[in-house]
Amino acid sequence: MKQREVDVVQAAAPCVSGGGGGDIELAGAGIAGHDLEFAYPGRVLWRGLDVEIEPGMVTAVCGQSGSGKTTFLQCLGSLEKMTSGELVVCGTGMAALRGGSRRRFLRETVGFLFQNFGLVASWSVRKNLEVGGYRFSRDLSGIEEVFDRFDLPIALLSTPAYRLSGGEQQRVALIRLALRQPRILLMDEPTSALDDENTTRLNDFVTDHCRSGGIAVIATHDARVVERADLIIRL
């Protein structure tokens, strides 16, 4: 897939698309938005944004600190709401999502990797993975394969998260995502604590996820991630 890039700030009629038309109904298995705006009192982060992200696409969201990259991910995952416009994610309209339907959407459709990794420091690695919805069996062969993929020893399962390095914590958060297998990965600076080797592991994981029909939207400053993206949104 040819890489596309759009500068949302400079575009007269901003449009972010992986191909095809701009019909909002195309979001049945993907992400589509029309005339999106997000604003705080006295400040507009973006306005008039049309977006279409199809299954199989890796999207990098770039921009300076404070440009709204994290907020954009939060809107896609229902943690924030657009000020105006229509946003549909996997057939679900974000504007009306609330209560039980919102919790179900968060549980079944999206998986977040937060900048702070989202681990409880005093809990063991195992308990942090269980919070993500994974249920352990006596046979650890399946999970051991995932640990190997991210170059972590399975022996860390009993280790409290606070005893891990930043890079290890980030990889545990990635393992939690890999075990959940959500349709959409929303990742905020996922390589901030990773070296080149583990960044390659992350990129390969994201590529495999999207090849199987998933979507990944990644807020990043990292050129190693951006160069692997199908679509670049610059806020």
Q: What is the per-residue pLDDT for 130?
A: 87
The chain-wide mean pLDDT, for the chain, equals: 86
- Tens-place pLDDT, residues 112-151: 999 999 999 999 999 999 887 777 766 677 788 999 999 9
pLDDT more than 90, % of the chain: 63
Helix (H, G, I), strand (E, B) or coil at 32: strand
Report the pLDDT averaged over residues 94-101: 85
- Tens-place pLDDT, residues 157-181: 999 999 999 999 999 999 999 998 8
More confident residue, 2 or 53: 53
Q: What is the per-residue pLDDT for 92?
A: 87
Phi and psi (nearest 5°) for 20?
Answer: 75, -170
Phi and psi (nearest 5°) for 47?
Answer: -150, 140
Predicted confidence (pLDDT) at residue 70 exceeds the cutoff of 90: yes
The pTM (predicted TM-score) of the whole model is 0.86
Q: Specify the CATH superfamily of domain 4-109+182-234.
A: P-loop containing nucleotide triphosphate hydrolases (3.40.50.300)
pLDDT band at 96 (very low <50, low <70, confident <90, very high): confident
Domain boundaries defined on the chain: 4-109+182-234
pLDDT band at 5 (very low <50, low <70, confident <90, very high): low
- Tens-place pLDDT, residues 6-21: 566 433 333 444 443 3
H-state helical runs in the chain? 69-76, 99-108, 125-131, 141-149, 166-180, 196-211, 223-226
Q: In what order do the strands lie in the sheet with 15-17?
A: 15-17, 43-53, 31-40, 84-89, 92-93
